[in-house]
Chain A
Amino acid sequence: MSKSMAFEEPIVKLREKIDELKEIAKNADVDMSEEIVTLETRLKQLETQIYSNMEPWDRVQVARHAQRPTTLDYIEEIFEDFIELHGDRFFGDDEAIVGGIASFNGQPITVIGHQRGKATKENIRRNFGMPHPEGYRKALRLMKQAEKFKRPIICFIDTKGAYPGKAAEERGQSEAIAKNLVEMAGLKVPVISIVIGEGGSGGALALGVANKIYMLENSTYSVISPEGAASILWKDASLAKQAAEAMKITSYDLKKMDIIDDIVPEVAGGAHRDIHVQATSLKECLEKALKELNALSEEELIEDRYNKFRKIGQFIEEDEV
């Protein structure tokens, strides 16, 4: 059973009570089925009530859940024939980003994504999904390869951010991210990005200059983590909950701001509760997007991406005097 989060505590408690009751009924040989049915109805109501009224901070907890499905989980569920391809050809292979070729409903595609680990050992190997420059350079290499062979590119975004380390700076973290932004703008093939967990700042955006951008319902996309925002804005990282609210980082916020194309609804309580169901809805979303983008010419794809990002921003324009 996966770890519960604070906001779903009442659900967990009630579920425990029901289990307890069932146990008693079994052992004491008394009929409690009526009570159990009543409580189970109550549980359903409670789940609906809690899971459909999640605060931004609750969603942050879901997005960061240790058992939340990762890029490789979705790859396994959604694609066939996946072959992982490694390395940036300059320095190394960054396991915080995975990528490769696969087929999707018979169409060859390139898939790339941030990859965190679920257990500590894997997390260390994958640097908690926080890439170094070679990760972004590997991603770009695979995108260029996809372009050459006219394969659509599907990116899964799931990172706290690009790694803030000495070696990362020495090898040009800024340049690696910046170059991806510019080069992705010019890709002659369809690009689809989906935020599946945390979309942390430039390190996320470096896989995000796409024709279609989607977010799983409980994922977040932001310029800085809620903790970081709180410590910069109010000099107090413990105000992260308030920052999560103020910074407008949920899928609903980004949809409202017209930055993302759509929200992919999640299984009640979060994607980790049923990856198969979650992968199915993600697959449907990809099918729809690809059908639309496959019809566009190279020029139209680039134009489409240009227009998509060109219009982002809110300001007031006064008439020239």
Chain B
Amino acid sequence: MAIKSLLSINKKKQKGVIVDRNKENSFPADLMTKCPECKKIYLTKELEHNLKVCPNCDYHYKMTAWERVSIFIDEGTFEAFDDNIRTSNPLKFPSYLEKIEIDSQKTGLNEAVLTGKGKVKGEQVVVAIMDSHFRMGSMGSVVGEKITRAIEKATELQVPFIIFTASGGARMQEGVLSLMQMAKTSVALKRHSDQGLLFISVMTHPTTGGVSASFASVGDLNIAEPQALIGFAGRRVIEQTVREKLPDDFQTAEFLLAHGQLDAIFHRKEMRDKLATVVRLHRKGGISHV
């Protein structure tokens, strides 16, 4: 192969795993992919068939919000909410809106979360799916507002609310407004919960900071994908604070499970089936035999 074409393959690879929005439910078109964990190289098609999980070592690749819709929600049932709200620049941070625009183009989303209703194996749910390809999935006013509206919609429809988190935390550029989104989503979750409705939090890689310290951690069930990084403070900050080396598995899903913070870890391949079962077991009227 000519050197030129080799280089162009690398270039394509650097673009990462963003879904091509022109082709519905498609994965990137790169021919080969190298697993960042076990370094094995395999056909990208093989990876796609495997729901973006390394066939060799089970490494779970990050997914875009739309990819997750395609593998989780029953085909043709998804209806997106609130794609008409846009980020303003309340603190007037230079070039903030330009960055938002670039990520919006890249992901096809108006902000770092996709919300909507749909069915999971026939069960009606409202979902919020965060996308770490959009400003690291960070939460500002629009993310907080979209999630809050989705929770309110779930309350109105009397259906379960399921969130897939993927976020570096609160968004710096919106300052204390971002912090307050933690409280805003929480008051909405409390209402949803008081109606006896189910909330499942599915933590995917990464779920940290203000998102970890709000809705992500208060599901009726807290679920995670294997090896996902989940934690409040950053590893580097902790190492500098406590001046000791942290274990390799620190803040992984497995670490959290061992410390009693998670109900279960579900492999991506079984996520849809298991969550559908969970929803089915929480159907209203579950105690009608009494």
Q: Is B167 an interface residue (CB 8 A)?
A: no
Q: Is A10 an interface residue (CB 8 A)?
A: no
B183 lies within 8 A of A174 (CB): no
Q: Number of A residues contacting the other chain (C-beta, 8 Å)? A: 56
Q: Number of B residues contacting the other chain (C-beta, 8 Å)? A: 60
Q: Contact string, A94-108, partner B, CB cutoff 8 A, digits 1/0?
A: 000000000000000
Cβ-closest chain B residue relative to A233: B172
A/B pair count, beta carbons within 8 Å: 190
Bound together, the chains give a CA A68 to CA B212 distance in angstroms of 32
Dominant SS at the B interface?
helix
Bound together, the chains give a CA A186 to CA B193 distance in angstroms of 10
Q: Contact string, A223-235, partner B, CB cutoff 8 A, digits 1/0?
A: 1100001001100
Cβ-closest chain B residue relative to A307: B187
Residues of A228-247 at the interface with B, using a CB-CB cut-off of 8 Å, are 229, 232-233, 246-247
Cβ-closest chain A residue relative to B173: A233
Cβ-closest chain A residue relative to B258: A170
CB neighbours of B215 from chain A (8 A): 178
Bound together, the chains give a CA A178 to CA B183 distance in angstroms of 9
Cβ-closest chain A residue relative to B234: A164
Cβ-closest chain A residue relative to B212: A174
Q: Which of B178, B183, B238 contacts A164 (CB 8 A)?
A: B238
Q: Which of B85, B88, B91, B186 contacts A178 (CB 8 A)?
A: B186
A223 lies within 8 A of B172 (CB): yes
Q: Which of A181, A182, A320 contacts B84 (CB 8 A)?
A: A320
B84 lies within 8 A of A202 (CB): no
Bound together, the chains give a CA A208 to CA B179 distance in angstroms of 11
Bound together, the chains give a CA A253 to CA B92 distance in angstroms of 13
CB neighbours of B187 from chain A (8 A): 185, 209, 305-306, 309-310
| B179 CB to nearest A CB, Å | 4
Name 22 A/B residue pairs within 8 A (Cβ), A-sorted. Answer: A166-B238, A168-B232, A171-B259, A173-B233, A175-B217, A177-B213, A178-B214, A178-B215, A178-B216, A181-B186, A182-B186, A186-B194, A209-B183, A246-B93, A247-B175, A249-B175, A257-B90, A310-B148, A310-B188, A313-B145, A313-B177, A321-B84
Interface on B for A, CB 8 Å cutoff? 84-88, 90-91, 93, 141-142, 144-145, 148, 170, 172-184, 186-191, 193-194, 209-210, 212-218, 230-234, 237-238, 241-242, 244, 246, 250-251, 259-261
- Ranked nearest first, the 5 interchain pairs of A and B with the lowest CB-CB distance are A164-B233, A313-B141, A181-B186, A185-B190, A178-B217
Interface on A for B, CB 8 Å cutoff? 162-166, 168-175, 177-179, 181-186, 201-202, 205, 208-209, 221-224, 229, 232-233, 246-249, 253-254, 257, 259, 305-306, 309-310, 312-321
